[in-house]
Amino acid sequence: MNDIQVYRNNDFCVRTITDANGETWFVAKDVAAALEYPESTLNQIGNLLNAVPVKWTNPKRIMVRSENGVEQAREVLCLSEQGLYFFLGRSDKPKALPYQMWVAGEVVPSIRRTGRYKMNKIPQISAGILEGAKFILETVGIKDNQLVLALDKVYKYYTGNSALAMTGIELPAPEQQQLLTPSEIGKQLGLTGRRINEILAGAGLQHKLCGSWEAIGDGVNYSVMLDVGKRHTDGVPVRQLKWKSGVIDAVKARL
């Protein structure tokens, strides 16, 4: 079985596999998903890679975690470094060049130097700014969960990151809507969870990143990412995307 390492920044993600010869391979489906190819194309990734020389593609067997949390061995199609650059150079997707610059400029050099990619440090924010914001918010009557959420927005304004999101904590405001999985939404509408995911993706509310659904665009306001209290084999916390009940109207509009 091949060892797998996940590399990510704020925009992109890719799983890499180091084979017995020490060569690094990139999971092709992750690359295509980062370039925002549609789900139908991702499910037939071999067809998308027809133009890549065969010597630069290879199926690799890895352990993956299914949606119900069960780990199983699975073969995934991978690209060598040469194959990755060949594919990206021929792609007409707008994100192909930024992705190639990230891989070539940060990920690959870091793999060769240290064996892992280290993300840039999170920008710092002074305690004085948060204290001042807290004083103003409390003065106008903001408190409890709403105060925490408001301060998190201040933190994100200065750093570009949500402290709550980074720690996997979801702290809803008191007027929290019911949180639903795609399967639960589907039961209300007589559809499968898979179909709901397709509709949400088609509406530009989510996309797949490294095999997992993540909210994008207006979907960020409709959803929350919850820590389920488990960890993947690489130690990364298992998180689940759930949708606020208000998204049902958006799904109905697409039917």
Q: What is the pLDDT of residue 87?
A: 93
Give the number of other CB atoms < 10 A from CB of residue 151. 19
Q: What is the pLDDT of residue 1?
A: 53
What are 221's two structure tokens? 């306001």
Q: What is the pLDDT of residue 187?
A: 92
Closest CA to 58 of 107, 90, 19, 31: 19
| Total-model pTM | 0.49
Half-sphere exposure of 221 (CA within 13 A, CB side): 5
pLDDT above 50 (res 122): no
Q: Which sequence spans correspond to the domains of the chain?
A: 3-114, 123-160, 167-254
10 class by beta-carbon count within 10 Å (0-12 exposed, 13-18 middle, 19+ buried): exposed
Rounded to the nearest integer, the mean pLDDT of the chain is: 79
Q: What is the band of 228 on the pLDDT scale with cuts at 50, 70, 90?
A: low
6 or 95: which leads in pLDDT: 95
Average pLDDT over residues 137-155: 78
Q: What is the pLDDT of residue 69?
A: 45
With H, G, I as helix, E, B as strand and everything else as coil, classify residue 134: helix
56 touches 80 (CB < 8 A): yes
pLDDT above 50 (res 16): yes
Q: What is the pLDDT of residue 199?
A: 93
Q: What is the band of 120 on the pLDDT scale with cuts at 50, 70, 90?
A: very low
Task: Give the tens place of pLDDT for each residue, 31-62.
Answer: 999 999 988 888 888 999 999 999 999 888 76
What are 75's two structure tokens? 């073969």
Task: Give the tens place of pLDDT for each residue, 167-189.
Answer: 556 665 555 568 889 999 999 99
DSSP E strands: which ranges in the chain? 3-8, 13-18, 24-27, 57-65, 71-80, 179-180, 206-209, 212-215, 223-231, 237-244
pLDDT above 50 (res 6): yes
pLDDT above 60 (res 65): no
Q: What is the band of 9 on the pLDDT scale with cuts at 50, 70, 90?
A: confident
Q: How far apart are the first and last CA of the chain?
A: 43
